[in-house]
Structure 1
Amino acid sequence: MRILHTADWHFGKTLEGRDRLPEQAEFVDELCRLCDDERIDAVLMAGDVYQTVNPSAQAEALFYEALHRLADGGRRAVVVIAGNHDNPERLAAAAPIAEVVGVTLIGLPKTPISPATGGPGKVARVAGGPSWLELALPGSDAPLVVAALPYPSEARLNEVLADGLDEADLRRGYSERVAAWFRALSRRFRPDTVNIAMSHLYVQGGLESDSEIQIQVGGAYAVDPLAFPEDAQYVALGHLHRPQAVAGSPVPARYSGSPLAYSFSEAGQTKSVVILDAAPGRPIQLGQVALGCGRPLVRWIAEDGVPQVIRWVEEGRDAQAWIDLELHLREPLSLQETQMLRSLHPGFVHIRPVLPEQEAAAVRATGALPPDQLFRRFFERRHGAPPDDALVQLFLELLAEASAEDDWEALGEEVAG
């Protein structure tokens, strides 16, 4: 069978107030064409359908259109789990209607899944239970078993494990509890089935982007890759927007990444989906398929000022892109110049003036400023907004630690001498 893994659609997400829904609709078109061209039997969507727990009507309409087209009248299976951005109950509200055409919507880890038939030549859910299901696919002789763990917040994980584990088990670390849940789910795997695990979580060592909301706090909610079940043939993950494999996993595990670049930290990334060729008892054959939808996010650094920007626009550079512009100037940018630049190219998201001569003078004049003020100036110049007090405090703590280490090194050198 052929399986497509995707995640992190974030329908309704904007870029500094700029509507991305037309680009997201482009993605749905490209995804549906890809499923038809590649003869996909099942689509796994690993969470974060929406950007917010209260999505717009337009974002919901696009999601339901995507489900309708991907399901192909019940001839293709679709499994969707909730991510940390999704309202799990709202996501699963349409499950009774969706299951008629082979679509399974799973909001919470404890979600009960019942058998459902779609008729001759259609996807059938032949078995199921809390967060697992077995599917019979029209294009495959082998069944597909999916062990699905929607975004497992601390509260949701405790709730779903409360009946099966004693108090000592519940006090174990987050990663150990995730591993326990996967072990329980993987009992449904069989030698005669294609066995896939999927979840929406952060795995230790994963490369993040600025567009994700962190779900780990000081590593407390980072999952050890060894938590994944060894008898799964593949683990389909959502949450991180950069496509990447998971290092250290006992089985192939990947983040498919988001279909669009959602922050300038993702500038230059190639977005993709993962396609799996799977059969029972055999290693998965997987490949990434690059996506071409959406407007790219790019960074311009105009060291020669406004004339350089005008020349680039006249040359048609990045005509369809969203642009983060760093503009080097001798004098501050006037309001009229800012308006002129924005009229030249509708894709300018940020216009960040940089005045090197003034900055050099400021450094000479403010060399005696305390570190927290210097950090605030640097951060605001680089990011266009001041840092919050918690970030400044963290910087000062790190600075103190680094200074202490330097003192110890100097003392060691003195003693050695």
Structure 2
Amino acid sequence: MKILHTADWHLGKWLGSISRLPEQKEVLEELCSIVEQETPDIVLIAGDIYDQINPPVEAVYLLHQTLMKMSANGKRAIIIIAGNHDSPERIEAIEPLLFESGIIVAGWPYSSPACYSIPSGISIISSGQGFVELQLPNCKYPVRILLGAYANTLRCTPLLSPENQDIQLILKNLWNNTKSLFQNKEGFNLFIGHGLFMGSTIPEEDEGERSVMVGGAQAIPLSYIPECLDYAALGHIHKPLKFDSVSFPIVYSGSPLCYSMAEAGQKKHIVMAEFVSPGETAVLQYIELSKGKPLLKIYAHSVQDALNRLSTCQDSYVELHLILSNHMSIEEKNSLYEAHDGIIDILLKMDMSNAVIESMPDMTISISELFKSFYKDKKGIDPSFEMVQLFNEVLNNTNNQIELSSGEIKDEA
């Protein structure tokens, strides 16, 4: 049996003001070509199908189009679980439209797909909370899958009890209760999950994921994934990662595109896992994906240096780091954006290595005088009398409000 494992498509994602949908279409076409060449028996998509709970129509259409092509109109099984960026209700709502093509969707940690068969030979022969057992057309043995959709307190509400509010323990019990359905039985036993599993850390590129994990879910110990498995397909971390401290492959496939500047330079892959027979170690193959523009961080020490460097990487997205000894003018900044339409951000850092502090600032100068000096430095002319008068009025009002607030605090004390 052969498995293709992918995750974290984030359809509808933006990078700054740039939509990634055109690149996502290209990389999913590449993925469909790999499926056609490698002919896996089953495709596992481990969550974060969309980038938002309410994805744009174009992203929904792209997903449906891709799934139909991957499934070869029902000849190949596809398993999808919800990630933290997905709406469980939304992705399960499309299941009635997909089951005739052998596509099974689990939005909740406790989802229990209905049993059915389709003419191509794909059958769900049994199911339970977070569990499904399949018979595939070209596979002699049944395939049993634990469905570990993203779990937090809200998504696990039906599983909570006054005695047990611990999400980690709830998942452990759910998965261990389910494993009894296939333990010591002949067949292929798989796990598909989305979340942060202990033994993994959230890289810098996943700051958005970090805030979600801290706010609504807990890291899950690897030991909570049952041991009687042949392969565990994980999603959530965008960089490919394989755990070596376990007896069977536990793998994050990573995302198909670089989605933040912290991922600049990363190679993206999908994972193929092939089994000769149940119980034997899977042979893993990482197939590199080539589509999508590269993300680059460029460091320059002058505007001209930046322009020269930008001219060499036109077909990329750029985070430009400028280290300057003087402030950059608006005209110079505009020249950079005109030279490269893929600039995501320009980060300025002042080079103080050659700066000389001639004297300590005069601390006796009034705020009004400092304002006049600042205005002239920025505008090149002295502020008008009316401008200075307006500034002084605002300053006085601010001081009065501060004094009033201080008096109220003293009174309360």
Query: 1:18-167 counterparts in 2 under 5 A?
Result: 18-119=18-119, 121-160=120-159, 162=161, 167=162
**Structure 1 unaligned residues grouped into runs of 5+:** 367-417
- Give the partner amino acid of 2:149: P
Q: Secondary structure at the match of 1:188?
A: coil
**Which residue of 1 is the match for residue 188 of structure 2?**
194
SS in 1 for 2:178: helix
| Paired residue secondary structure (1:336) | helix
Q: 1:319 to 1:192 in 2, by over 3 A?
A: same
Report the counterpart of residue 179 of structure 1 in structure 2. Answer: 172
Deviates more, 1:273-282 or 1:81-90: 273-282
| Percentage identity across paired residues of the two chains | 32
How far the C-alpha of 1:30 sits from its partner, in A, is 0.8
Q: Which region of structure 1 is more displaced relative to structure 2, 3-12 or 350-359?
A: 350-359
Offset at residue 158 of structure 1 (A): 4.7
**CA distance in structure 2 between the aligned counterparts of 1:253 and 1:22, rounded to whole angstroms:** 31
Q: 1:299 aligns with which of 293, 297, 307?
A: 297
Aligned residues: 355
Deviations 1:249-308 (A, max 9, x none): 4532111111111111111111111111023121222121111111111100113x1222
Q: Partner residue of 2:325?
A: 330
- Of 151-160 and 193-202, the range deviating more from structure 2: 151-160
Superposed counterparts of 1:1-12, under 5 Å: 1-12=1-12
Larger Rg, first or second structure (1 or 2): 2
Report the 3-state secondary structure (helix = DSSP H, G, I; strand = E; otherwise coil) of the residue aligned with 2:5. strand
Residue 226 of structure 2 aligns to a residue in which SS?
Answer: coil
DSSP 3-state at the match of 2:352: helix
Q: Structure 2 CA distance, aligned partners of 1:287 and 1:344?
A: 40
Which residue of structure 2 lines up, in the alignment, with residue 213 of structure 1?
209
> Contact (CA 8 Å) 2:141, 2:188: kept in 1 or not?
yes
1:298-317 alignment runs, 5 A limit: 298-303=296-301, 305-314=302-311, 317=312
Q: Which residue of 2 aligns with 1:413?
A: none
Aligned to 1:152, the other structure's residue is in SS state coil
- Supply the AA of the counterpart residue of 1:295: K
In the TM superposition, residue 207 of structure 1 has moved relative to its aligned partner by 3.2
* 1:222 aligned residue (219, 235, 239): 219
The Cα of 1:5 is off from its aligned counterpart by 0.7
Identify which of 310, 335, 359 aligns with 1:340. Answer: 335
Report Cα offsets for 1:319-365 as digits up to 9, x if no partner: 21111111122321111111111111111111112220289669x97
Structure 2 unaligned spans of 5+: 362-413
Q: Distance in 1 between matches of 2:108 and 2:4?
A: 22
In 1, distance between residues paired with 2:306 and 2:98? 50
Asked if structure 2 preserves the Cα contact closer than 8 Å seen for 1:186 and 1:232, the reply is no
Residue equivalent to 2:281: 283
What is the TM-score when the length of structure 2 is the normalising length? 0.81
One-letter amino acid of the structure 2 residue matched with residue 259 of structure 1: P
- Give distance in 2, aligned partners of 1:91 and 1:158: 19
CA contact (8 A) 1:5 1:275 kept: yes
Q: Given the superposition, is the C-alpha separation of residues 359 and 103 from structure 1 closer, same or farther in structure 2, using an over 3 Å criterion?
A: farther
Classify the secondary structure of the residue corresponding to 2:296.
strand
Kindly provide the CA deviation profile for residues 157-200 of structure 1, in whole angstroms up to 9, marking residues without a partner as x. Answer: 352365xxxx54x14x4333322121122222253211001111
